[in-house]
Amino acid sequence: MFDDHDDEALHRLRAADPARGAHPDQASLRRRLMDRTPLGLRAAGLTGGSSAGADPDRAVRVQDGTTRGSRSTLVAAAAAAALAIAAGGYAVGAQTADDAPGGTGVAATGTDDDRSGTPDHAAGEDSASGMAEPGIQDEYADDQGSAESATGSYYPYGPTVLSAGPELSTEGGTGEVKVLRAADVDPVEFLSSWAAELGVEGDVEEMEGDDYADLTSGAIYLSLSSTDFSYSNMLTDPYCEEMYGESTLDIFFGGSAPFSGEDCLPAGDLPSDEEAIAQAQEFMATTGIPLDDVEWSVYRYEDDPQMNVSGRRPDRPANTIEVTLSGAGVSGAYGSLGEYESLGEYPLLSPAEAVERASDPRFTWAGVWIPELDDEALMLEETDPAQAPERFELTAGSPIPYPVNEATIVDATLKTGILSLDDGTEVAVPAYDLVDEDGLHHAVLALSEEALDFTP
């Protein structure tokens, strides 16, 4: 009846925690979409100056060989479905004041941001901070302190009109741009070797004309594209029995399910951070991917029966490995295989010009996102959970409420952003982290217009 039984995003969204409060936790939803959807899920564009920067139902573009094209429609629908479920009494990762994400990092993954804007705070040699010319870094944020707002928010909510503060520089510069190139691997050979290491039996299927292959063996699914790999094991998912009852399996598999809820593995306690990293490393060793320079971090949520181990190479702007663990073992993993190649130095806007761009509709539909900001937002302890607004009393002829915020940008820092092109190509680009007087962040592509091709 349905062909979505291999859709990891749908599985994870269906497995979302029961609501612990009245409102969905947008950061957790974004994290679940990012971390638990296979094949290099790229996060929604966190563009500044508009509601697109914070909308939880923002479509996430995914290039996935299972559909030979973009799965953005599927993922957008899955996100919308998750929010619809929240309205009916379940919120994906619903968060209360006592249920803030508690990320415990064993190795730093860039959570110390460079708000001071000085070269000493560059986030690695690949970061936009490191690749910008001296003088373009902001030198006026020393007195800003933490960018947390009093409400514990990190991104703006709703449309916001930005204006540049007098401190912002009007000088541009240049910055390095890199493109993620496909890995030089044979998909069938890689998956066959990986399956053998895992003890998984099955035939690898290669999609004709695509650098993509997958293997399904009972409840285990493996896939590989030219830039990404993915693994999922339904039996170790802590929601296995709940998700894969007889009626559900009939829907997913049309009466020929390769397993049943009785096959689900019993879940014990979650491992400690050190044990989780060891398990992730042991699992990833089966891929044959070099792990020597990978820095590992652990993210766990209170009362969540799963936890994530993230791996990042120093030369990457975003995590290259994500392993999801339950008390029964590894339930999912995905990561990147490609290598970044420098495209050279490109001209950049000034911070003041970036503020103007934040309100330009050409850059607010599907803009750049900054992995470092998402990492920090996940670690943020919410001090004052958002409350539902009071109901509007509308009368005949009265103006329709359409709230628009205004904010002044007081700080601008260059960081490394990710721009996903329509064909799925991932480009690491300089991006401004604009911080307003309330400590909210707005991400804006820093490349000047002469560096962009607007041809449709």
Angstrom distance (rounded) from CA 172 to CA 43: 27
**CA dist list (Å): 424 to 72, 97, 303, 330:** 11, 38, 35, 27
**β 405-420/160-164 pair status:** parallel
Q: What is residue 432's predicted lDDT score, i.e. its pLDDT? A: 96
Residue 456 lies in a domain: no
Q: In which residue are the tokens 């960081």 written?
A: 415
Q: What is residue 158's predicted lDDT score, i.e. its pLDDT? A: 76
Q: For residue 182, what are the contacts with CB-CB under 8 A and spacing of at least 6?
A: 211, 226, 227, 337, 338
Structure tokens at 404: 């628009």
Cβ atoms 155, 358 nearer than 8 A: no
Domain that holds residue 120: 101-385+402-451
Angstrom distance (rounded) from CA 178 to CA 193: 30
Residue 191 lies in a domain: yes
Secondary structure (3-state) at 309 = strand
Cβ atoms 40, 334 nearer than 8 A: yes
pTM over 0.75: no
Cβ atoms 229, 337 nearer than 8 A: yes
Q: What is residue 243's predicted lDDT score, i.e. its pLDDT? A: 75
Residue 119 lies in a domain: yes
Residue 42 lies in a domain: no
Number of domains the chain is built from: 1
Q: What is residue 402's predicted lDDT score, i.e. its pLDDT? A: 92
Angstrom distance (rounded) from CA 240 to CA 402: 43
Q: What is residue 384's predicted lDDT score, i.e. its pLDDT? A: 52
Q: What is residue 52's predicted lDDT score, i.e. its pLDDT? A: 32
Q: What type of residue sits at position 214?
A: D
Angstrom distance (rounded) from CA 453 to CA 168: 27
Residue 184 lies in a domain: yes
pLDDT in tens, the chain (456 residues): 444 444 555 444 444 433 323 333 333 444 444 443 332 333 333 333 332 333 333 333 333 333 223 333 333 333 333 333 333 333 333 333 334 333 333 333 333 343 333 333 333 333 333 333 333 333 323 333 333 333 335 566 678 899 999 999 999 999 999 999 988 888 999 999 999 999 999 889 988 666 789 998 888 999 998 888 999 998 999 988 877 766 676 777 676 777 777 888 988 899 999 999 999 999 999 999 989 899 999 998 888 999 999 999 887 887 789 999 999 999 999 998 888 999 999 999 999 999 999 989 898 776 799 988 876 665 555 545 556 667 888 999 999 999 898 999 999 999 999 998 988 889 999 999 999 998 999 999 999 999 999 998
Residue 227 lies in a domain: yes
Q: How many helical (H) and strand (E) elements, i.e. helices and strands, does the chain have?
A: 10, 17
Q: What is residue 93's predicted lDDT score, i.e. its pLDDT? A: 36
Q: What is the Cα 42 distance to its own chain's centre?
A: 6
Q: In which residue are the tokens 């390095």 written?
A: 176
Residue 372 lies in a domain: yes
Secondary structure (3-state) at 255 = coil
Q: Is the dihedral of CA 344, 350, 351, 354 positive or negative?
A: negative
Residue 27 lies in a domain: no
Cβ atoms 45, 366 nearer than 8 A: yes
